[in-house]
Each structure stands twice: as C-alpha cells, then as structure tokens.
Amino acid sequence: MHASNNKNTGSGIARISMFAFLALLFACGQPEPATQLADDRAPPALLADFSDLTPGWNTMVPGGDTVCSDGSEYKFFVKQGDPRKLMFYLEGGGACWNGANCDTDLRPSYQVNLTNTDPARAHGILAFDQMTNPFADYTVVYAPYCSGDVHLGDSEQHHQAPALEGHAAHAVHVQHRGWVNASAAMDWTFAHVFSPQQIFVTGSSAGSIPSPFYAVKIAQNYPAAAVTQLGDASGGYRGFANFSPYDIWATDRVVADLTHINSIPADEFSFHHLYIAAAQDNANIRYASYDNAEDDVQKQFLALGGTPVQSLQPLLEQNLAEISAAVSGFRYYVAGGTMHTILLRPEVYTYEVNGTKFIDWLAGLEAGATIFNVMCDDCSTAPGATTTTTGGQ
C-alpha cells in the first residue's frame, strides 16, 4: 500500500512516522485517487472525498452517455457514512424486451424514468435509524434503474408496438443503457471512496439479477477490501422462451469479461449463470441470495418471458442447487409466501424462518460470520403476520 509514487526516503523523512508521511503527502496533493489505505488511524480525508456531499441523500447527475429508457435524465444517489464501509445498491423496476411490454401507452412492465425515485422513502436496510440495521453507518451509493434491461444493457432499440383496439401500431424507441448508467455510479464511487475495508454489493429484483457481476467489477477496483454480494428476489428465473437478452439488450457484450459466460451458448444462458461466472472470476467474494419460494412477481415475469409456472419453488431449488455446487460458500435464505423483495421493506426486521431471523442472518453475512442456508418448511405461507410496503420487480 502506498500514498504516492514519490520514492524520496531521505533521513529527514525517515525520522517521521509512516502515518505522518502519508498525511504530509496528502497535504501536498500527491496521493492517487484509488490509493488503498486500510489503517484505522488514517484521517478521513485519506479514505474518501466527501467534500461535495451534504448530510442525508445527495443527488448526482452524471450526464454524458447516461440516459433513461425514454431519453430523460439519469441520476444516482449518495449518502455519506463511514468511508471504510461501502454499500452499492442496484434498484429494481421491471424489464422490457418488445413493443407490447415496452410501450408506455399499453402496460409497460418496467420503470420508464426516475420521476418517482427517492431512496429517502425506503425502509429496510435504508432505514438508518433502526438499531439492528447492520448498514446504519455505511456509505451508500444507490444506482437507480430506468433502462428496462436489468442493469445489463447497452443498446438502442426500436421495438414495434402492436395494433390493438384504440391503439395503432407504432415504433417504440427505448434506450437500454443500464450498464452505462450503473457505470457512472461506480465511476463516482471509485473517484471518491478510496479504500473501503468492507463492501456490500446488493440489489432487489431487477437489481438483484446483475449484482454478482457488479460485485466482481467493484472488487477489481478495491482488491484489499472484503466484498460481499446479496441478490434479493431473482433466484427463480431460468431460461428465456421468447426473447434473448443478448439480442435485445446486448448483455453478452456487457458481461463479456466473465469467462464462463462466453462458454455458454446464447440459447442456454440464464441469469443464475452470473453467480457461477462471477465466482469463477473472483472466488474471494462472498455470494448469497434471498427469495420467497412463491414470489408472485417472478412468476409474472416468467410468464411474460414465455415460461409460465404454477409454482416457483422447483425452478428456485434447481438454480440454488446448481449455484451451490459451483460456488464454494454460497449461502441462501428462502422464506415462504408470495412477497417480492425484502431489502427495502420492514420485513427485514421481522421475518423468521426455522428459528433464524432474517436480520440476524443478514448481519452475519455482512460481518463475515459463519451462516447457514435457510429454507422454509411450509413454503406456501409467509413467515408470520407482517406489514408490507410497496416493492417493484
């Protein structure tokens, strides 16, 4: 670990401590932005640059090539916390791949823009006043979602909307730029958070799907950090009967660095392969997932994709078994019932399956402790009586 490329080690400098040396170099403006410095005694200024942030959530407008599906402005959000602890959260919000489900005049199956996005309204792991929240003191980068491509697209499409009663057929122009948008949030992170020791990469629903891939990308920039990944509510997807994310979203180009993906024929690719590919690329990351066994939203999107199922559980169990066999240390928590996503809900603090509270399991995952897989017994029923909030695919 070093603070600059200055190799002057003369007798005057040798007499001061390494800590003072680093502080002196920082004062001279010489350290590199991505310098890794894990010393708990280091001044905050050597760990991050939060000079442009105010308390609470900050809105960042990166500009450049970032764009929402409808051509509107993209933005992301940052909340300052401990610079040694970093969470990168990928928002959910559906997906689309043809004129029928992309057309905003019909029934779009995705979040078109960021008009209603505000992480300050979220609960769960973003409720920083909860005493049992293991992420209460984290620095959080929240990457919203408005591209219809599960954060894994970099294409522009002119889908054809169908002619229906009262609706003429027409072209639907969609910017599937999820990779470009999330990359802007990562770039800000790399430029402002210099040397986190703990990193938690996660996302819900459409943000859950790519979280193993983004964990690898973030770990590349912080090789000294302990990185943990958790996917929230995407474990049951398996295959695509009526569309190809390669053809529509250019996902194959986005994830081309994952060697395992390149070995899978396009017509056999499925989202659970991202776990296996990510672990082959970086086995030091701790990988995990959460699902409800009969998640209604996952079943709805399976039906939209041409694979209707009465029960999600068989596909979910098949995926978890394949990931577990290929990824050492992979852990999962499966609750009963039809709820979709948990991380931004109050249920984070109330769900308990087979004697294991989800918040305790999550805290153990975050802390790097030994945790075990949790699987519901009666998977048709949700764990106890809970209140619910809105959540999206």
pLDDT digits (tens, 9 = 90+) for 296-329: 999 999 999 999 999 999 999 999 999 999 999 9
Could you give the residue ranges of the DSSP H alpha helices within 255-348? 259-262, 273-281, 296-304, 313-326
Domain extent at residue 67: 33-375
Q: Is residue 300 situated within a structural domain?
A: yes
* Residues ≥6 apart with Cβ < 8 Å to 377: 336, 354
Q: What CATH number should be reported for the domain holding residue 272?
A: 3.40.50
Other Cβ atoms less than 10 A from the Cβ of 162: the count is 13
Tell me the DSSP string of 339-375.
----TTSGGGGT-EETTEEHHHHHHHHHHT-----EE
H and E: helices and strands count for the chain: 13, 13
**Which of 105 and 189 is assigned the larger pLDDT?**
189
Q: Is residue 210 situated within a structural domain?
A: yes
Q: Is residue 298 situated within a structural domain?
A: yes
- Say what the pLDDT of residue 35 is: 36
* Residues ≥6 apart with Cβ < 8 Å to 54: none
> What tokens appear for 137 in the block?
């003191």
Residues 166-221 have pLDDT tens digits of 888 999 999 999 999 999 999 999 999 999 999 999 999 999 999 999 999 999 99
* Residues ≥6 apart with Cβ < 8 Å to 130: 136, 349
Q: Is residue 159 situated within a structural domain?
A: yes
Contact 156, 175 (CB under 8 A): yes
Q: Which of 278, 277, 69, 313 is nearest to 178 (CA)?
A: 69
Q: Is residue 252 situated within a structural domain?
A: yes
> What tokens appear for 193 in the block?
């958070």
Domains contained in the chain, number:
1
Identify residue 248 by its one-letter amino acid code.
I
Q: Is residue 367 situated within a structural domain?
A: yes
Q: Is residue 191 situated within a structural domain?
A: yes
- Say what the pLDDT of residue 347 is: 97
- Specify the pTM: 0.87
